[in-house]
């Protein structure tokens, strides 16, 4: 059983699911994967561009670097991390460096990794 944390971000435009909808999706995903939710982070009504301007995601990253209370961060949707592809890949890369992972009901850790690697290859060719 992996120890997991939930991350919820809502936005002011209402494009992301509500806090409750995201929480329900995260709880279901954790149960399906036999993960034990031990922590939760939230950035409510937060813009989705810059990761490190949000206290919730900063606390989650700090945990993987220093406290190591959990190994899986569960989000309801990839856009809950960020609206931008580069920011999502930056977070996935950081998690991979610390042997942690990000999961969501619509995307596995391997899919997050594969996308991040493809994105980084594209950048290196420029």
Give the span between the Cα atoms of 19 and 35, in whole angstroms: 20
Residue-range definition of the domain harbouring residue 57: 3-124
DSSP H or E stretch at residue 25: helix 19-32
Q: What is the CATH number of the domain that holds 67?
A: 3.40.50.1390
Give the span between the Cα atoms of 108 and 87, in whole angstroms: 18
Number of domains the chain contains: 1
Give pLDDT tens digits for 52-66.
889 999 999 999 999
Distance, CA of 89 to chain centre? 10
Residues 6+ apart with CB under 8 A from 74: 4, 5, 6, 7, 26, 29, 30, 35, 37, 102, 103, 104
pTM: 0.93
Give pLDDT tens digits for 10-40.
998 889 999 999 999 999 999 999 999 999 9
């Amino acid at each position: 059983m992996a120890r997991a944390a939930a991350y919820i971000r809502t936005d002011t435009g209402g494009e992301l699911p509500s806090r409750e909808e995201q929480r329900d999706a995260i709880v279901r995903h954790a149960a399906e994967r036999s993960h034990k939710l031990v922590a939760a982070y939230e950035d409510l009504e937060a813009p989705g561009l810059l990761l490190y301007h949000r206290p919730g995601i900063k606390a989650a990253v700090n945990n993987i670097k220093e406290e190591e209370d959990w190994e899986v961060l569960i989000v309801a949707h990839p856009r809950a991390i960020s609206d931008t592809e580069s920011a999502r890949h930056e977070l996935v890369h950081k998690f991979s460096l610390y042997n942690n992972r990000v999961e969501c009901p619509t995307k596995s850790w391997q899919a997050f990794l594969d996308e991040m690697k493809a994105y980084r290859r594209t950048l290196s060719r420029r």
